[in-house]
Amino acid sequence: MDSLSQPLTDTPGDERDRELVGLAKDGNQTALEQLILRHQPWIYNLALRMLHRSEDARDVTQEALIKLFTRLSTFDGRSSFRTWLYRIVVNHLLNMKRGRAEARGITFQAYGHALDNTPDEELADATAVPVEAQLLTAEARIGCTMGMLLCLDREQRLVFIFGGIFGVSDTVGAELLELSRDNFRQKLARARRDLQSFMLEKCGLINAANSCRCARKTRGFIKAGHIDPANLRFAEARLTRVRDVAPRVSDEISALDAACAEIYREHPFAKSPDFVAALRELLQRPEFRTSLDLN
């Protein structure tokens, strides 16, 4: 489906974007909406992995899409539209105010301490919760490993999300973050190393010798308020996984690198909220149409 076409490949299909941009600049609202539909899933999933909380990711995605609208007239075609748009998104994510999860100043040391102090318990009787125990364990696994990303600084997070999870090439990653290809690869290797060091020490998904197991921590996460059985944030009975929509670019990585990344690539590729209606409402405001030169 068009809304899930992968814009982060070496051949992003920029011709369609340019066609829509041209129409949008001529005042075609449908073309603007098509641009949103093509890119909102990727922007939202990038923001979700940066911020952990869906509420924050929704806010950031809408803010980024508003910037798309207000700056569209400045796109001059000297770069690909993908490069132009995702540099706006990247700069917004790097410079925005600290999100609610970020505000706690999470470090790997603090995160490990929190895991160690979450008691190991068997899950409650399945009749005591509104969803299957398997989904609760998946919620714990996804939420916990997503939380580990917050221990990376913002640039490391972006580099790992692009290169380790979404599988972009060093060419595309360097382009989006305005780095050299060598520098992108070095930063990706450093982010992988930091995550792997923590997971090797703490996580039973990577190191079978570790005592931390998702199923044994799930009840503790529920008691601590990290999981709401009536409102799962990450796990769904049926879901699209990142690896289904973002095939890995072949690169030289170790088996451990691949195993670590695959945990994240098994995460859901979350269904994006539909921002078309909200932005359509904005377009009806005279002051907003003036800023877009659509009158």
Quick: pLDDT tens for 191-237.
Answer: 999 999 999 999 999 999 998 999 999 999 999 999 998 898 898 75
* CB 157 within 8 Å of CB 50: yes
Tokens of 61: 């995605």
Model-wide pTM > 0.75: yes
How would residue 238 be classed by pLDDT, with cut points 50, 70 and 90? low
What's the rounded mean pLDDT across residues 77-106? 86
Return the CATH number of 1-103+272-295, one of 1.10.1740.10, 1.10.645.10, 1.10.287.110, 3.30.465.10: 1.10.1740.10
- Report d(CA 147, CA 234) in Å as an integer: 12
What's the rounded mean pLDDT across residues 271-289? 79
- Report d(CA 48, CA 28) in Å as an integer: 30
Q: Report domain extents, the chain.
A: 1-103+272-295, 105-229+235-269
Which strand (E) or helix (H) includes residue 233? none
Q: pLDDT tens across 1-58, in order?
A: 344 678 898 876 788 899 999 999 998 989 989 999 999 999 999 999 999 999 999 9
* CB 219 within 8 Å of CB 124: yes
- Report d(CA 146, CA 208) in Å as an integer: 20
Q: What are phi and psi of 212, to 5 degrees?
A: -70, 115
Query: What mean pLDDT, rounded, does the chain reach?
Result: 87
**Residue 84 pLDDT > 90:** yes
How would residue 124 be classed by pLDDT, with cut points 50, 70 and 90? low
Question: Which residues, 6+ apart, have CB-to-CB distance to 107 below 8 Å?
Answer: 151
- Report d(CA 45, CA 68) in Å as an integer: 17
Residue 96: per-residue pLDDT: 86
DSSP 28: -
